[in-house]
Structure 1
Amino acid sequence: MEKVLQKLPELPNAAGAKDTDLIFLRGLMESPIIQSLAKVQTRLEEPKLEAVRERNVELVHEIVEDFAAMSQQDGRAAELLNILQEPHFQSLLEVHDSVASRSYEQLPCGSEGFGPPGSGGTQDIMLGEAVRVVGIRKMDGEPLGVTFRVDGGELVIARILRGGAIDRQGLLHVGDVIREVNGHEVAGDPSGLQNSLRDASGSVVLKVLPSYTKPPFSSQIFVKCHFDYDPTTDHLIPCREAGLAFSQGEVLQIVSLDDPSWWQACNVQGGGRVGLVPSQTLEEKRKAYVRSDFDLTPVGGSLCGVRGKKKKRMMYVSTKNAEFDQHEILLYEEVANMPPFQRRTLVLIGAQGVGRRSLKNRLIVADPARYRSTVPCTSRQPRDDEYDRKSYRFVHRSDMEADIKMGAYLESGEYDGNLYGTRIDSVRNVMSSGRTCVLDTNPQALKLLRTAEYMPYVVFIAAPPLAVLQAMHRMGLDAGTTNKQLTDNDLKKTSEESNRIQQTYGHYFDVTIVNEGLDETFKKLLQVLNQLTVDYQWVPVSWVY
């Protein structure tokens, strides 16, 4: 595998392999799972140790008899004779012979403890309840990482948080019934039990009825969060102390999906403990249901649940993409960690007048070998100083309308009686040249672009606060960089539009840069783009598999 990884940079020219295929291959071979499997395979291929011979105890007895006479004449023979007669050496030989002959001693079926019922043997225990006494060591203030539920009047372990004190000690399992804590019987009160365990320190003795269930399989799912979560304000969570807070844009590793309402996860960037987060199903119910139409109070011993059937009704019009996007529910997105690679497209999103086009032009001029843009199409007639395929591709209106209906355009619109648009094949032509295609499209086009074919890196150019925006406009007028006079109302609309775009399409953005000055914003843009060639990147899992 090391030789293959070293040869990967030479494969594109030698075998005609695609860059994306090589990126996927490198990410696959460098993943911890594949590396572990390779080590296991190497270990299995190692030659097995075999015994040279069996019955070595008899051989040593013969050597001792032969050396008995020589030991009186030779000191070295006497020393060897003493070593061979040592009890520890004799025991070592017996173990070696047992392993070499594979004659391991087995317990007979008629051993003590397996007598008839009533004899006090093990069978009486198996016929009754096999109660175990478990001792747990707990540090003062340390969370145990366990929650409970009521089942038939008994307290049952509902979940064990990965990495917690209970999980590390491995003495309790999901489904175990708690009968006593430090000699006191436990009633059907999970909150009281959790409080008593939280306040306890040192040795905690539990009497449990084991469930004998197999431990769950550890998950290797990574998700990007598209909403903020604070467990301290969530009244549905079984245990607020066990909750894990996160912010929009953070990546979580889901370590357990056993509970349909509460996943166990840890933060990839910050590391740390495993905690409870709402599942996709539970959070969708909370987002889709009207809060005033149902009661969220847990009932019947259930520690989490959603009641009620009344849903929010809304009419969606497919032609109005912006209105449809405002009501889209995107909570978690499964992602994969990829090695550094150059994205195929760079998409600059922002409100009108925020500086997207200026940044695009400066980027292409600064590095034309790496970045290039498309030539837009229009149905208007060319002016005297315009040439076809330089600033615009001039197309007949009827042909452009037919291509729009056929889906040949990434985006299109009408201004002053003329059609304007960007063809999809123009984006593909730039990508096929090996450059990154720079686009400053409307945010509605992100749904078409965010696929494995285009692999976009989406940068949101956010408008600064209104006061800063007004000052920037005055500086532009004084410097002569712009001659378009904007009123305070125009600048206010720009700020409001920027906030609306971020709220509606923020889950598509890879990075957000606030434009408080074109020079400084361009430097920040170059920094984040250069990091793509250095850092691993979290991308949608659909781009990889």
Structure 2
Amino acid sequence: MRQTMEDGVSEVLSSVVEDIGEAVTRNISGAQILHELLSAPWLHALLKIYECLIQFQKMKPNPFLPYASGLSYEIMTLIQRAPHPSPEARELFGLLSSPHVQALLSSHDSVAQEDYLPVLPPLPDELPEDEEAMRIVCLVKNNQPLGATIRRDEESGEIYIARVIHGGLADRSGLLHPGDLIVEVNGNPVVGLEPAKVIRILTNSTGTILFKVIPNSTQVSSNQKPVYMRAMVDYCPRKDSSIPCPDAGMSFSRGDLLEVVDQSDAQWWQARKLPCGASFARLIPSASTLKSKQREHWWCQPLHVHTCMRPQNEQTSVDDKSMTEMDNAQDIKIDEADSDFTEGIYLAGFRRSFHVWKRTSFKKRRQSCSSCSPNSNAMATPYEEVVLYQRPPQENHRLIMLVGASGVGVNELRKRLIKLNPSTFQGPVPHTTRPMREGEQMGREYHFVTKELFEYMVCNHRFVEYGESKGHLYGTSFDSIDEVLKHGRMCIVDAESHSIPILRTRKLKPFVIFIKPPSPERLRQTRKNATILTNDAVNRPFTEEDFVEMEEVSRLIETKYKQFFDSVLVNDGLQDASMKLCSIIHQAQNEPQWIPVNWILSEEQ
């Protein structure tokens, strides 16, 4: 039948095209064309089709039976009463008695009888104009918390919704909002109760929880975009007495990535930890709140040694600061034993231009007043906003920075990378004040400079690291690093951990890899036949004291600087560690990585 209707409509439309084509060919007047079109049989057929469609649109589908459930019950009763029902009858009985068919028939009867909503009594004719509307909210509590915090008005004793946690049960329902007044919980009036008692009522409630609330008339819709932060400090809500609800708080450690989804509260933000394993957010202190807490904690330490508090006559003037830095240059040990040539190719920057003796300098180094003050970097920026960054092909490679304790294998890994692929990896060529030796070339082994120029570069903060050995100064400069990157190679530096902050610039975009020692047993096994450079520039076997100190220094470096680490590599064996390091560096250069947002904003501006 449907095919017949389609064929009929096609014939009518074909006749329309033919008549119009003939009228155009004959070139007759418009009035005659209009008369012929109005009297054409196809036009009358189209009008009849239109009338049928209008009538069909006005028709309402009527059910054949408004009591399908009752009919199915009668059929099942007859089948049960039959002495010997056929297999078809038994199959029909099984279908009709299944819960899915019963639910379908019940829904059919509800629609057929137009029984959609409960009949509510009419509203009273006289309602007070100032009466507030009451909302009844029904939530089904599951294993996760409700996702809302409350506060008490001290004057009236009324309980209000303080905040709704993003992604929680209350937020997903869309029925509770900040500022809503809670009147009852499961029939229990809460006005005048302490918040702790209301929380106990909610905690002890299972299944369905019924709220009676007066909605906040000044609800503000929040469509904030997520902001991604890297934590620069540690935080534990259980140790924070000022947090509104410790159970709703989220602990984090330095270096953790946080997705901040709500910053509407000036004191408490809502965030999730990445990679995200929870659907709902938790409370963390805002940047200003956490900064205030850190400053308060620092100043209240009774035994804290504030090196910035010195008598006036002991302070160093600004003009003498740079010369004092030169006088305090660290003693270094030169590492020039390895060959700079591989298969006839000179490996620029292959040598460890100078080896700062980390074990002694770490213990003897005195912390500057800037490192202990409340305005130190971690306290000034408890959170660092970050963004995913994909290096464009036309940009320079990111600086690869390897850090780790002395003896853990940082320099060995750096040398192996450069030696295996000198066309890709290169170290910066260091500066020195020692005379050029026979066979050396300017800018190949070293940048040979005068002591006056070296001191000038120190005064202008041009060095990442520098030190003195046998009366000569050595240093790795920012210019040497830039030179490697401009030639399209990956610059690999082995620097002290305290150099990380000064290298974290928009221009270099360093990728920091912390080289970590393996387990104590594995550490002693892999270093059984290895040697270590001593204060006297003599290689000797590792001792138990060396192992203990390596583990201690590694822990101290990780504790202080782990918020800057982009990756951690355990040197469980030089061969395997080298392969893993190559993979990490490939990901750093070619895959999206989290970097500080100001590195991108500075470029756009």
Which residue number corresponds to residue 341 of structure 2? Answer: none
SS of 2:558's equivalent? helix
1:398 to 452, 455, 466: 452
Instruction: Give distance in 2, aligned partners of 1:451 and 1:158.
Output: 41
**2:272 equivalent to 1:266:** yes
Instruction: Give distance in 1, aligned partners of 2:45 and 2:386.
Output: 73
Shift of 1:265: 0.8
CA 1:389 to 1:466, structure 2 compared with 1: closer, same or farther past 3 Å? farther
Q: Which moved more, 1:445-454 or 1:204-213?
A: 204-213
Which residue number corresponds to residue 166 of structure 1? Answer: 170
**2:384 equivalent to 1:378:** no
CA 1:87 to 1:507, structure 2 compared with 1: closer, same or farther past 3 Å? closer
Shift of 1:525: 0.7
**For each residue in 1:343-395, what CA deviation from the matched residue of structure 2 results, as whole angstroms up to 9, or x when unmatched?**
42111112223222221121122222322211111112234454433322222
Instruction: Give distance in 2, aligned partners of 1:216 and 1:79.
Output: 52
Contact 1:343–1:457 (8 Å) recurs in 2: no
One-letter amino acid matched to 1:346 = I
Shift of 1:408: 2.5
Contact 2:387–2:597 (8 Å) recurs in 1: yes
Shift of 1:247: 4.1
Shift of 1:461: 1.4
One-letter amino acid matched to 1:207 = K
Which residue number corresponds to residue 133 of structure 2? Answer: 131
5 Å-filtered alignment, 1:22-421, equals 81=51, 83-85=53-55, 88=58, 120-121=126-127, 124-125=128-129, 127-128=130-131, 130-151=132-153, 152=155, 153-186=157-190, 187-212=192-217, 213-232=219-238, 234-272=240-278, 273-290=280-297, 314-316=306-308, 322-323=367-368, 324-325=370-371, 328=376, 329=378, 331-339=382-390, 343-384=397-438, 386-421=440-475
Shift of 1:426: 1.4
Instruction: Give distance in 2, aligned partners of 1:167 and 1:400.
Output: 62
**For each residue in 1:319-351, what CA deviation from the matched residue of structure 2 results, as whole angstroms up to 9, or x when unmatched?**
788544466425321100123667421111122
SS of 2:166's equivalent? coil
CA 1:244 to 1:475, structure 2 compared with 1: closer, same or farther past 3 Å? same
Contact 1:443–1:505 (8 Å) recurs in 2: yes
Contact 1:410–1:422 (8 Å) recurs in 2: yes
Shift of 1:202: 4.0
CA 1:86 to 1:416, structure 2 compared with 1: closer, same or farther past 3 Å? same
CA 1:376 to 1:157, structure 2 compared with 1: closer, same or farther past 3 Å? same
SS of 2:479's equivalent? helix
CA 1:506 to 1:194, structure 2 compared with 1: closer, same or farther past 3 Å? same
CA 1:356 to 1:203, structure 2 compared with 1: closer, same or farther past 3 Å? closer
Which residue number corresponds to residue 4 of structure 1? Answer: none
Shift of 1:532: 2.7
Contact 2:529–2:541 (8 Å) recurs in 1: no
**For each residue in 1:100-143, what CA deviation from the matched residue of structure 2 results, as whole angstroms up to 9, or x when unmatched?**
xxxxxxxxxxxxx9xxxx9725xx33x24x13222222134342
**2:581 equivalent to 1:525:** yes
**For each residue in 1:38-90, what CA deviation from the matched residue of structure 2 results, as whole angstroms up to 9, or x when unmatched?**
xxxxxxxxxxxxxxxxxxxxxxxxxxxxxxxx9xxx99987764543457379
CA 1:412 to 1:76, structure 2 compared with 1: closer, same or farther past 3 Å? closer
Which residue number corresponds to residue 60 of structure 1? Answer: none
TM-score by length of 2: 0.63
Which residue number corresponds to residue 543 of structure 1? Answer: 599
CA 1:206 to 1:539, structure 2 compared with 1: closer, same or farther past 3 Å? same
Gaps of 5+ in 2: 1-40, 61-121, 309-314, 316-320, 326-364, 533-537
**For each residue in 1:440-478, what CA deviation from the matched residue of structure 2 results, as whole angstroms up to 9, or x when unmatched?**
122232222111100111111123455544443332259
Instruction: Give distance in 2, aligned partners of 1:438 and 1:167.
Output: 48
Contact 1:290–1:312 (8 Å) recurs in 2: no
Q: Which moved more, 1:460-469 or 1:516-525?
A: 460-469
SS of 2:456's equivalent? helix
Instruction: Give distance in 1, aligned partners of 2:508 and 2:590.
Output: 20
One-letter amino acid matched to 1:360 = R
Contact 2:398–2:589 (8 Å) recurs in 1: no
Shift of 1:406: 2.2
Gaps of 5+ in 1: 1-69, 91-112, 295-309
**2:456 equivalent to 1:450:** no
Which residue number corresponds to residue 561 of structure 2? Answer: 505
Instruction: Give distance in 1, aligned partners of 2:386 and 2:427.
Output: 28
5 Å-filtered alignment, 1:460-479, equals 460-465=514-519, 468-476=522-530
**For each residue in 1:225-271, what CA deviation from the matched residue of structure 2 results, as whole angstroms up to 9, or x when unmatched?**
23444445554432233223444433111011122332111123134
**2:550 equivalent to 1:494:** yes
Which residue number corresponds to residue 436 of structure 1? Answer: 490
Shift of 1:279: 2.5
Instruction: Give distance in 1, aligned partners of 2:144 and 2:492.
Output: 51
Shift of 1:538: 0.9
Instruction: Give distance in 1, aligned partners of 2:367 and 2:433.
Output: 25
CA 1:76 to 1:214, structure 2 compared with 1: closer, same or farther past 3 Å? closer
Contact 1:344–1:435 (8 Å) recurs in 2: no
Percent identity among equivalent residues? Answer: 30
Instruction: Give distance in 2, aligned partners of 1:77 and 1:389.
Output: 94
SS of 1:249's equivalent? coil
One-letter amino acid matched to 1:173 = H
**In angstroms, what is the RMSD of aligned CA positions?**
3.5
TM-score by length of 1: 0.69
